[in-house]
């Protein structure tokens, strides 16, 4: 059946997005196969105890910094061969805490320095770049504040610099608080996919792998040869490791050396981390891809994989395009099934390409313990689906060159389920992105109803998974909201501003929940009155096309007239100079006669008159057969006209007005919360 131009554009976007997403998905499965093809056992060589500088970039990490310093100073390595550089850009109590720690360890004979630049220029990359100017050791190990290196780390890792071209050794991240919550379990599984599939596959081959910013050791010569640390992107680790490999250096991943770290327990912190990674990757793609493409010494497969890794976050905007397009296409009766006469094959294809394949990969990753990890997969799918909005904003920020401050992920020293972060400093409020997540959630509810009423129930699980993800991320962002505090709230009496902010926060939560419920009700009600009658009309027209009984056809036409009157009551009218109504059309601009419901009504009346005449004509006459063919052709054309008009019913004037009011109400709540947040910042400054 022909598709109208608007729907055709949506369909093309949907298919292009599906092809690209499938390509990135299949590449991950290719890396999963590559990760299982283990090369020769990694060689080690006794290098003795070469000099190592351990650099610890710190910014406001008072809850975890002592744990880090204690672990580093407890390394089983000669004190005279280690220099510990604490690169502290903090502006809170962390500074005093570090001064005390450093003085204590200096008295014990450690070469440990508390380095204060006096500026945050370049953020973490700037601190590392500054430190390289005063570093003279052969190797440089880097740990973020939330990591806990084991005592044997250096002695086990350094021997893997067995070949002169090995410039970096990246170790696997462990998860000290993996079982703290569903959020941390989902993050842990996602990170394990990255390390045990992607990093392992690339380390085992000639493909480029990336430094993960921590839990790794660099050869000093490699850093200098690659051009040192750059501050142009939010992921200085990815940038430097790619530049090093373009120079011919080899990066090695050691899956058996695990360094435990703390996963973000607060949803807003996890979203901030994901945002930084997504935006930084696209920044590196813009910065490096041309040079990688023209580099002759880089293999073609390595170039392709570099392109895929640096651009893989464009999948998130494509996911949103598909999510927005799917209900429109279903409402337009566009066939999206893999095999049109077997709709179940479509759902089976999604399951095999998605959860089914991931379960196989989990089995290969965890062996005997795979079942417990597989139980986390549904949560990971919901988590990743809900993050599509957050990461899409990050992608567009990078593409349009928006400058962002390097916002580090706050950590709270969370290990056991009894530990709590809610009353600690560094807590984050939800951002404007949450508004978009709520919008997509409500849109998804409408999409579920469209898939049901358009007789496409196979798409309900697909739309439902993403809808649950958007609502889940939005809900957790709001429920985990704590206004940013530079100071701890322990043993403090709440000020008047803080009490008022707490009241505003509670009222805002009630308001947001009320607006979401109202938006869902309006979406369902609007579909029932604006779109569902058109769906019923198309169903009756199908009945007319497939019938040869005049009485049955007449019943269908009468039912269509009833629905047509409901639709036409809400359509804007166009009159001529004499005041006569000449059009009722849902299309605002460039309206055509094919979507004029007044004409459609006249055609229906003509068909009704024709069927009354045909009903008294002998069935074996040529007039009867000619008349029935004319009725069928008219029904088919009217069905096409109604399909053309359906997408425009979504953007009717009342719908646009209600949506504008709905969004404005949410923005007003966000503005109130933002205002109170600024007031609390002023309180913090004065504390």
CATH number at residue 217: 3.90.550.10
Contact 467, 447 (CB under 8 A): yes
Instruction: Specify if 303 maps to a domain.
Output: yes
Burial 414-440 (b: 16+ CB within 10 A, else e): beeeeeebeebbbbbbbbebbbbbbbb
Residue-wise pLDDT for 523-554, tens only, equals: 777 777 887 888 889 889 989 998 889 999 99
* DSSP calls for 408-447: --------STT---TTSTT-----THHHHHHHHHHHHHHH
Out of 99-113, 138-152, 180-194, 415-429, least confident range: 415-429
Give the end of a domain, one of 290, 313, 336: 313
Whether 678 has a pLDDT exceeding 70, the answer reads: no
Q: Which residues are paired to 286 by β-bridges? A: none
Contact 214, 507 (CB under 8 A): no
Residue 293 forms part of a structural domain: yes
Question: Lowest-pLDDT range, 258-262, 617-621, 651-655?
Answer: 651-655
Active-site residues: which are they? 89, 237
Q: Residue 518: its pLDDT value, please?
A: 77
Q: Tell me how far apart the alpha carbons of residues 124 and 413 are, in angstroms, rounded to a whole number.
A: 21
Alpha-carbon distance of 583 to 607, in angstroms, equals 20
Helix (H) or strand (E) segment spanning residue 113: strand 112-115
Residue 647: inside a domain = yes
For residues 508-512, average pLDDT? 72
Residue 62: inside a domain: yes
Given a cut of 50, whether residue 490 has pLDDT beyond it is no
Number of domains, the chain: 2
Selected residue with higher pLDDT from 327 and 496: 327
Ramachandran quadrant class, 134 (left: phi over 0; alpha: psi -120 to 50; beta: rest):
alpha
Which has the higher per-residue pLDDT, 209 or 328? 209
Domain closes at, from 313, 343, 373? 313
C-alpha dist (Å) from residue 489 to 96, 339, 397, 421, 500: 18, 60, 34, 12, 16
CA distance 38 to 175: 25
In a domain, 180, yes or no: yes
Residue 675 lies in a domain: yes
Asked whether residue 165 is assigned to any structural domain, the reply reads yes
Structure tokens at 459: 């798409």
Q: What confidence tier does 156 reach under pLDDT thresholds 50, 70, 90?
A: very high
Give the list of residues 6+ apart from residue 277 with CB closer than 8 angstroms, or none. 235, 313
Nearest 5 degrees, angle CA 449-CA 450-CA 455? 100
The C-alpha atoms of residue 198 and residue 201 are separated, in whole angstroms, by: 5
What are the CA-CA distances from residue 656 to residues 451, 588, 649, 651, 660 (Å)? 22, 12, 10, 6, 6
Half-sphere exposure of 309 (CA within 13 A, CB side): 26
> Using alpha carbons only, what angle is made at residue 220 by residues 214 and 225, rounded to the nearest 5 degrees?
110
Residue 273 to residue 410: CA distance in whole angstroms: 9
> Is 194 a residue whose pLDDT tops 80?
yes
pLDDT tens profile 575-585: 888 888 888 88
Q: How many helices (DSSP H) and strands (DSSP E) are in the chain? A: 25, 10
Residue among 387, 395, 214 nearest 310 (CA): 395
Percent with pLDDT over 70 in the chain = 90
DSSP, collapsed to helix, strand or coil, labels residue 2 as: coil
Q: Is the pLDDT of residue 685 over 60?
A: no
- Per the listing, tokens 């710190």 go with 58
Query: Has residue 362 been placed in a domain?
Result: no
Full residue range of the structural domain in which residue 120 is found: 45-313
Contact in structure between 110 and 73 (CB atoms under 8 Å): yes
Buried b / exposed e along 167-203 (16+ C-beta atoms within 10 A): bbbbbbbbbbbbebbebbbbbbbebbbebbbbbbbbb
pLDDT, residue 39, reads 59
Q: Of 313, 340, 375, at which residue does a domain stop?
A: 313
């Amino acid at each position: 059946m022909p598709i109208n131009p608007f729907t055709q554009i949506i369909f093309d976007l949907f298919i292009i997005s599906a092809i690209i997403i499938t390509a990135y998905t299949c590449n991950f499965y290719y890396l999963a196969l590559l990760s299982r093809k283990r090369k020769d056992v990694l060689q080690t060589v006794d290098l003795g105890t070469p000099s190592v500088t351990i650099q610890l970039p710190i910014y406001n990490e008072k809850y975890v910094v002592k744990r880090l310093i204690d672990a580093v100073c407890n390394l089983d390595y000669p004190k005279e061969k280690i220099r510990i550089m604490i690169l502290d850009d903090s502006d809170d109590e962390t500074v005093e805490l570090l001064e005390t720690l450093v003085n204590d360890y200096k008295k014990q004979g450690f070469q440990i320095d508390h380095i204060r630049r006096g500026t945050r220029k370049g953020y973490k990359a700037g601190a590392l770049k500054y430190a390289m100017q005063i570093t003279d050791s052969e190797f440089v190990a880097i740990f973020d504040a939330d990591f806990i290196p084991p005592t044997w780390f250096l002695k086990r890792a350094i021997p893997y610099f067995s070949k002169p071209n090995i410039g970096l050794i990246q170790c696997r991240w462990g998860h000290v608080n993996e079982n703290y919550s569903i959020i941390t379990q989902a993050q842990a599984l996602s990170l394990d996919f990255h390390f045990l599939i992607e990093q392992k596959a690339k380390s085992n081959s000639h493909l480029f792998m990336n430094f993960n910013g921590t839990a790794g050791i660099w050869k000093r010569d490699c850093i200098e040869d690659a051009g040192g640390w750059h501050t142009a992107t939010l992921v200085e680790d990815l940038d430097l490791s790619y530049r090093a490999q373009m120079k011919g250096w080899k990066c090695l991943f050691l899956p058996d050396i695990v360094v435990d770290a703390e996963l973000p327990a607060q949803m807003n912190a996890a979203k901030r981390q994901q945002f930084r990674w997504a935006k930084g990757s696209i920044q590196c793609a813009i910065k490096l891809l041309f040079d990688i493409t023209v580099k002759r010494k880089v293999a073609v497969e390595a170039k392709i994989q570099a392109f895929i890794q640096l651009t893989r976050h464009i999948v998130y905007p494509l996911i949103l395009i598909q999510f927005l397009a799917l209900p429109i296409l279903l409402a337009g009766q566009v066939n999206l099934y893999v095999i049109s006469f077997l709709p179940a094959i479509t759902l089976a294809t999604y399951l095999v390409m998605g959860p089914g394949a991931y379960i196989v990969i989990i089995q290969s990753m965890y062996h005997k313990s795979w079942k417990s990890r597989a139980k986390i997969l549904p949560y990971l799918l919901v988590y990743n689906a809900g993050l599509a909005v957050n990461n899409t904003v990050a992608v567009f920020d990078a593409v349009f060159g928006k400058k962002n401050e390097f916002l580090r992920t706050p950590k709270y020293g969370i290990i056991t389920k009894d530990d709590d972060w809610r009353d600690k400093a560094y807590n984050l409020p939800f951002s404007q992105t949450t508004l978009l997540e709520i919008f997509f959630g409500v849109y998804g509810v409408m999409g579920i109803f469209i898939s049901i009423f358009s007789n496409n129930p196979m798409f309900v699980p697909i739309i439902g998974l993403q809808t649950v993800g958007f609502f889940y991320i939005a809900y957790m962002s709001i429920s985990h909201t704590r206004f940013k505090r530079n100071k701890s709230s322990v043993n403090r009496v709440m000020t008047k501003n803080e009490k008022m902010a707490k009241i505003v926060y509670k009222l805002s939560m009630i308001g947001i929940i009320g607006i979401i419920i109202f938006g869902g009700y309006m979406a369902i009600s609007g579909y029932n009155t604006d779109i569902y009658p058109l769906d019923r009309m198309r169903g009756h027209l199908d009945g007319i096309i497939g019938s040869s009984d005049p009485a049955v056809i007449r019943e269908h036409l009468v039912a269509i007239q009833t629905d047509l009157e409901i639709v036409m009551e809400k359509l804007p009218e166009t009159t001529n100079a004499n005041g006569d109504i000449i059009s009722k059309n849902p299309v605002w601009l460039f309206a055509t006669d094919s979507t004029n419901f007044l004409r459609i009504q006249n055609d229906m009346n003509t068909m009704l008159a024709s069927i009354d005449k045909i009903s008294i004509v002998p069935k074996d006459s040529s007039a009867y057969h000619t008349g029935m063919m004319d009725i069928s052709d008219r029904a088919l054309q009217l069905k096409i006209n109604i399909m053309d008009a359906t997408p425009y019913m979504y953007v009717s004037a009342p719908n646009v007005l209600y949506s504008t009011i709905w969004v404005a109400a949410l923005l007003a709540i966000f503005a109130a919360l933002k205002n109170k947040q600024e007031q609390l910042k002023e309180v913090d400054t004065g504390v």
